Amino acid sequence: SIPLGFFGGIGAASKNGILIKGSNYLEALNAVKYAVFDKTGTLTKGVFEVTNIQPTETISKKQLLEYAAIAEVHSNHPIAQSIRTAYGKEIKDRDIQLYNEISGHGTQVNFDGKGILAGNAKFMNKEQIVFQEPNEIGTIVHVAVNKKYAGYIVISDQVKEDSAKAIRTLKELGIKKTVMLTGDAKAVGDTVGQELALDEVHAELLPQNKVEEIEKLETHKAPKEKIAFVGDGINDTPVLARADVGIAMGGLGSDAAIEAADVVIMTDEPYKISSAIRIAKRTRGIVW
Ligand code: ADP
Ligand code: MG
């Protein structure tokens, strides 16, 4: 039979906006020594704002923004939403002949006889677009039209108010290592890493690379130590499933992430992860 204390622990967590999907995860939370985080939407707000529009000499800022907005017409990525918001006008999707979203790279559309690409440097390189890497702080979205570079748009995100406190508290609770895994550029990852005093940052990762990072950690840790991964996006589901404890941001997070997770933070506050560990420790005091 399941000891009553487990229900107490799960109940206490749920009163704090934390959904724990089984008593085995309470036990696992107790043994977490490595806390691994996604960046966008997990440690940062995931609400981007366009801060610079830099076209090549041949087109205007307005034209560049329009191309980007067309390329992002169907994407649910927070980057895409910010570009559409900055553009502000409606795009008729009946004029789009083809739409492709390439995970961790960007988007591709055919529109009005033009092939438009919008995405990161990795994507431009893959498509053999000739361009120069700008020296700017923020997430850079490059745009190419008919295989020719058209310029870039800079967007920025902000760390959540409680992220620094969350990382600090986890260290106080005996977490050995805090790690951030991101598909974003290294400069952006490092800035967030320094601001939050994270132990490690791994940037420019594809979803499958995030799983590989978890597997690397696994070979380094002691057998009884557990790895928690915290994420919010559809992209994060393989990693959420792979970690010992998958924790999803449930408020604005995707349904797929919530489903793949073992623990769901309903309020999207990273600080709640330490609350979950505290509740798990208290429950152990009662049950074991
Ligand atoms: P994160 O790991 O930060 O959650 P993602 O894996 O969702 O990021 O995306 C990684 C990177 O891929 C983004 O930082 C961006 O450069 C690029 N990217 C992904 N989707 C898009 C998109 N719809 N438009 C432009 N760039 C994108
Ligand atoms: Mg994310």
6 pLDDT band, cuts 50/70/90, is low
* 66-78 tens-digit pLDDT: 999 999 999 988 8
280 and 165 within one domain: yes
What pLDDT shows up at residue 32?
97
pLDDT at 1: 46
CB atoms near residue 114 (< 10 Å)? 12
130 and 199 housed in the same domain: no
Q: Are residues 268 and 132 in the same domain?
A: no
**Domains held by the chain: number:** 2
CA nearest 72: which of 131, 142, 135?
142
Report how far residue 251's alpha carbon sits from residue 258's, in angstroms, rounded to the nearest whole number.
9
Query: 233 is in which domain, residue-wise?
Result: 4-45+159-287
Q: How far is CA 188 from the centre of its chain?
A: 13
| Token representation of residue 140 | 């850079």
Helix ranges restricted to H, 45-185 = 61-71, 78-87, 121-126, 163-172
Residue that is last in its domain, among 156, 172, 207: 156
Distance CA 261, CA 65 (A): 36
User: Residues 77, 215: one domain?
Assistant: no
pLDDT at 7: 64
Give, for 115, the enclosing helix (H) or strand (E): strand 114-119
Would you place residue 237 in the very low, low, confident or very high pLDDT band (cuts 50, 70, 90)?
very high
Which of 104, 129, 156 marks a domain boundary? 156
- CA separation for the pair 15, 26 (Å, rounded): 15
Look up the CATH number of the domain holding residue 269.
Answer: 3.40.50.1000
**170 and 275 both lie in a single domain:** yes
CATH number at residue 102: 3.40.1110.10
Ligand nearest to the CA of 77: 1
Report the percent of the chain where pLDDT is more than 70: 96
Task: Tell me which residues have their CB closer than 6 angstroms to ligand 1.
Answer: 38-40, 72, 75, 77, 79-80, 101, 104-107, 118-120, 139, 141, 182-184, 233, 235
Q: Judge if pTM exceeds 0.90.
A: no
What's the Cα-to-Cα distance from 179 to each of 51, 173, 243, rounded to whole Å? 28, 16, 13
Same domain, 57 and 120: yes
Indicate if the pLDDT at residue 284 is higher than 50.
Answer: yes
Same domain, 196 and 171: yes
Q: Is 38 a catalytic residue?
A: yes
Which one of 103, 127, 156 terminates a domain?
156
pLDDT digits (tens, 9 = 90+) for 240-280: 999 999 999 988 778 899 999 999 999 999 999 999 999 99
Q: Which of 37, 87, 105 to mutate to test the pocket of ligand 1 (most atoms within 8 A of CB)?
A: 105
CA distance 242 to 41: 20
Q: Other C-beta atoms within 10 Å of 24: how many?
A: 12
Q: Are residues 171 and 220 both part of a single domain?
A: yes
Q: What is the CA radius of gyration of the chain?
A: 21
178 plus 81 within the same structural domain: no
Q: Are residues 232 and 252 in the same domain?
A: yes
